[in-house]
Structure 1
Amino acid sequence: MPDYKEMYLTLFRATEQAINTLIEAQRACEELYISEPETELRVVPLPDRTKEEKE
């Protein structure tokens, strides 16, 4: 008869390991993101539509 307890524990351990790997990767990516200098945003003016409407 299969050892269901051992099967469950094996699956549980692997699931925990996978979750921890994902958490570590997320933290590493967040650290990369916040350590980068902020990008400078600039406002790009929209074309003047009043000139187009007059023509």
Structure 2
Amino acid sequence: NADGDLPSGSGSRRASFPLGAVVVVLVALVLAGWYFDWFQTEPATTAGDDTSEA
């Protein structure tokens, strides 16, 4: 700022990308994954938990 002009306090900066749209898309993906069971995992098994031999 070689001229010595200070920025005005009433000026507002805009984000370079629409953050609200990104949040909406991420929430929609999580809800769709929950609805369609995209996050379903196999049940965990332990090493000594073989019930097929009994």
Q: TM class by shorter-chain length?
A: 0.3 to 0.5
TM-score, normalization: structure 2? 0.47
**Higher-helix-fraction structure:** 1
TM-score, normalization: structure 1? 0.46
Q: Relative CO higher for 1 or 2, CA cutoff 8 Å, sep ≥ 6?
A: 2
